[in-house]
């Protein structure tokens, strides 16, 4: 006698549905992991581009960027080095963001903190003989403008990658998002505040500092849509639920 099959068809259907859901979940995890790796790769490319601009700027010897003018001013009032002060201020920004909106802090934020210095050092070694204080002032000013544009482009790639952003750049990013104002304008205002604080505290600056304060923000506003298109070409934004 053939044994009867007492399996409920509804149970079979539920089992199939569970299998499909598990399969879909695995696919989503694979896709998300792939997207995150692509975003991180775009961030790293952006860092390489941005810090090429930073290195070119510094080698002209026409001043530091506004954030580092502020760091130099704070450092001059404390018994600690510029580098340690930079790290402390960066950590403080991250701590504040943990309370304001921790979604801005991602793995790329940490990468920006620790990779920036070595990348700049690498470029400095390569470019020091080509760009230095012995060049005519007008040539160095042209280099500063070009360097700020390069920095702005790399920075917008980092920001639009959504893999994380360096603590100093996050100040303008978060403010722009929260008050719903153009990033370019907010960036200029933030840079001028950094510069003002640094100058009042005795931080060293030059004509390049003022050029940087205005050019980076304006250039970032121009590059931002282009950088978004680059990122969207490689990574699809998640569909709204």
Convert the pLDDT of each residue in 12-43 to its tens digit: 555 555 555 554 545 555 558 888 899 999 99
Contacts of 84 (CB under 8 A, 6+ apart): 75
pLDDT tens, residue by residue, 79-120 = 988 778 888 898 899 999 888 888 888 888 888 888 888 888
Find where tokens 């050019």 sit.
215
Provide, rounded to the nearest whole percent, the portion of the chain with pLDDT above 70. Answer: 85
Domain boundaries, the chain: 34-231
* SS3 (DSSP) at 202: coil
Nearest by Cα to 51 from 140, 113, 135, 129? 113
238 DSSP assignment: P
Q: What pLDDT score does 26 carry?
A: 52
- ∠ CA 66-204-212, nearest 5°, is 30
Q: What pLDDT score does 11 carry?
A: 57
CA gap 38, 104 in Å, rounded: 18
- Lowest mean pLDDT segment, chosen from 7-16, 18-27, 160-169, 174-183: 18-27
Q: What pLDDT score does 240 carry?
A: 42
Does the pLDDT of residue 71 top 60, yes or no?
yes
* SS3 (DSSP) at 206: coil
What's the whole-model pTM score? 0.79
130 DSSP assignment: T
Does the pLDDT of residue 238 top 80, yes or no?
no
- ∠ CA 103-108-114, nearest 5°, is 130
Provide, rounded to the nearest whole percent, the portion of the chain with pLDDT above 90. Answer: 53
pLDDT tens, residue by residue, 114-158 = 888 888 889 989 999 999 999 999 999 999 999 999 999 999 999
Q: What pLDDT score does 192 carry?
A: 95
Mean pLDDT over each residue of the chain, to the nearest integer: 85
> Mean per-residue pLDDT for 211-222?
93
CA contacts within 13 A on the Cβ side of 20: 6
Contact by Cβ (8 Å): 161, 42: yes
């Amino acid at each position: 006698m053939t044994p009867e099959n007492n399996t409920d068809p509804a149970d079979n259907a539920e089992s199939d549905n569970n299998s499909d859901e598990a399969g879909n979940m695995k696919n989503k995890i694979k896709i998300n992991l792939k997207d995150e790796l692509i975003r991180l790769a775009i961030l790293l490319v952006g860092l390489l581009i941005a810090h090429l601009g930073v290195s070119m700027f510094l080698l002209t010897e026409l001043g530091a960027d506004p954030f580092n003018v502020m760091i130099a001013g704070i450092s001059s009032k404390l018994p600690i080095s510029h580098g340690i002060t930079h790290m402390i201020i960066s950590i403080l920004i991250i701590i504040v963001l943990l309370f304001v909106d921790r979604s801005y802090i991602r793995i790329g934020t940490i990468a920006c903190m620790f990779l920036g210095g070595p990348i700049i050092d690498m470029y400095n070694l390569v470019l020091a003989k080509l760009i230095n204080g012995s060049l005519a002032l007008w040539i160095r000013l042209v280099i500063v403008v070009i360097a700020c544009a390069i920095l702005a482009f790399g920075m917008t790639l980092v920001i639009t990658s959504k893999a994380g952003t360096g603590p100093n750049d996050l100040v303008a990013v978060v403010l722009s998002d929260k008050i719903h104002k153009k990033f370019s304008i907010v960036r200029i205002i933030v840079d001028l505040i950094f510069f003002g604080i640094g100058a009042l505290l005795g931080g060293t600056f030059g004509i390049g500092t003022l050029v940087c304060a205005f050019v980076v923000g304006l250039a970032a506003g121009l590059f931002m849509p282009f950088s978004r298109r680059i990122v969207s070409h490689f990574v699809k934004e998640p569909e709204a639920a």
